[in-house]
Structure 1
Amino acid sequence: MFSSFTNAVFRVTLVVIALSSKCTASNTCKGCTDLDELTFEKLVKRFQVTIVKFDIAYPYGDQHEAYSRFAQDVYHIDDLLVATVGIKDYGELDNKNLSQRFNVPEKLPSIKMFLNGDTTKWVDYPENAEVKTEDLKQFVRTNSKVYIGLSGCIREFDDIASEFVKNYSTKMYETALAKANKLIEGYEDEKLKSTGKVYIILMKRVVEVGLHYVEEEKQRTEELLGKKISSAKRQEMLDRLNILKAFEAPDKLAKTEL
């Protein structure tokens, strides 16, 4: 009887160890900095932009992996800190006070962006939006001065498109068109020239149809991606979607202050 009991305890111990190891592995977020009550203020104030994912103590799944990929993609940007805060609702309630301080909802994860080291206000990642690597990049691009390049995009043309949309007018279009054409003339690489012309075509269509064209074109492009197309055509459509993001008006995201 004693032997059976010992074996049972041994098996349970192995299961606990295995689960513990799984939790530890799933918590890995390469490129992320773990913050807590002591380090939060100290580190956030040192960066122009800090994006923080408040989550359970041992996060896992597609959204956590997407956040980790985002952190790895932007690790080279000195002005951007990608961080995580693990919240425990048991035991010593680690970081529970941080979740209360920043109005973190019960539904996790919750992602917030802090600008210029100011922890008294922040920008919330859309609560009901799925956490995706490219969407996180766009979230930072739209709401800060940190530039994150997307596949198929050219920074100078992204800046032209963004300025064109923010100050949309016929005069702005003429100014943007002149800048774009001048850039294209200076390129020797045919691929850069071709990409630059895509931006010009999109600006022209916005002038002809209106700002709503951007969303309509995004939907059309996404529909094409849902069909059976070649890998080359798929990449072309993905790059077009990224270029269209440069034409999006600033999101009406919830900006919160303490």
Structure 2
Amino acid sequence: MKFFDIFFATHFFVLILSIRAHTPGTVTIDSLTFNKIVRNFDVVLAKFDDKYPYGEHQDQFKKFAESVANTKNLLLVEIPVTDYGEKENQQLATEFKVTKTDFPVYKLFLKGKYKPINYTGDKTEDGLKHFLSQHTSKE
């Protein structure tokens, strides 16, 4: 009976974490889908982060994602990076010089340009909105 309780509790915890892993208004991508996404969308804001992010930065990102969800030609993507097991998306993190100590890291990809624009501002809803506006406004 004790084994069943532990088994059930473990699977329930994993289920809860997997539900939290996706932020509404975003698409989760990996190293296999990265180029396909970046090449085919006008504006892609990529968030490199832990597989199961939490805390104030994640709360701010959720607000941001919700507020820009209907923005034409913009796709928000999350790239979960792990440094254990399969080392999920570690190759992308290395390629774009993303380190775990800097999480979350935001990079803006504009169609036709492979080199992203690095976000260095406050990791807040308003900061991200300003950054996006600054680099995507038509003049």
TM range (shorter): 0.7 to 0.9
2:105 and 2:61 map into 1 onto residues whose CA distance is 12
Residue among 106, 115, 133 paired with 2:125: 133
Residue among 57, 72, 76 paired with 1:82: 76
The 5 A counterparts of 1:87-102 are 87-102=81-96
SS in 2 for 1:20: helix
The 5 A counterparts of 1:119-198 are 119=114, 121-126=115-120, 129-145=121-137
Further displaced range: 93-102 or 42-51: 42-51
Is the CA contact 1:70–1:137 (under 8 Å) kept in the aligned structure 2?
A: yes
Structure 1 unmatched runs, 5+: 1-5, 147-158, 160-258
Task: Write the letter of the residue equivalent to 1:105.
Answer: T
Q: State which structure, 1 or 2, has the greater radius of gyration over its C-alpha atoms.
A: 1
Q: Which residue is 2:99 aligned to?
A: 105
Is the CA contact 1:49–1:79 (under 8 Å) kept in the aligned structure 2?
A: yes
Task: Write the letter of the residue equivalent to 1:81.
Answer: L
Per-residue CA deviations over 1:110-152 (Å, capped at 9, x if unaligned) read 1111122422x112111xx542112111011112226xxxxxx
Task: Write the letter of the residue equivalent to 1:145.
Answer: S
Task: Write the letter of the residue equivalent to 2:130.
Answer: Q
Normalised TM-score (structure 1): 0.49
Q: Which residue is 1:27 aligned to?
A: 21
Identity of paired residues, percent? Answer: 29
Task: Write the letter of the residue equivalent to 2:20.
Answer: S
2:123 and 2:19 map into 1 onto residues whose CA distance is 20
Is the CA contact 2:49–2:100 (under 8 Å) kept in the aligned structure 1?
A: no
Is the CA contact 2:26–2:65 (under 8 Å) kept in the aligned structure 1?
A: yes
Is the CA contact 1:56–1:88 (under 8 Å) kept in the aligned structure 2?
A: yes
Normalised TM-score (structure 2): 0.87
**Alpha carbon RMSD of aligned pairs, Å?**
1.9
Query: Which structure would you say has the larger RCO, counting Cα contacts within 8 Å and 6 or more residues apart?
Result: 2
SS in 1 for 2:100: coil
Structure 2 unmatched runs, 5+: none
Task: Write the letter of the residue equivalent to 2:39.
Answer: K
1:106 and 1:35 map into 2 onto residues whose CA distance is 18
Per-residue CA deviations over 1:186-245 (Å, capped at 9, x if unaligned) read xxxxxxxxxxxxxxxxxxxxxxxxxxxxxxxxxxxxxxxxxxxxxxxxxxxxxxxxxxxx
Is the CA contact 1:46–1:117 (under 8 Å) kept in the aligned structure 2?
A: no
Q: Which has the higher strand share?
A: 2
Q: Which has the higher helix share?
A: 1
TM-superposed CA distance for 1:24, in Å, is 1.4
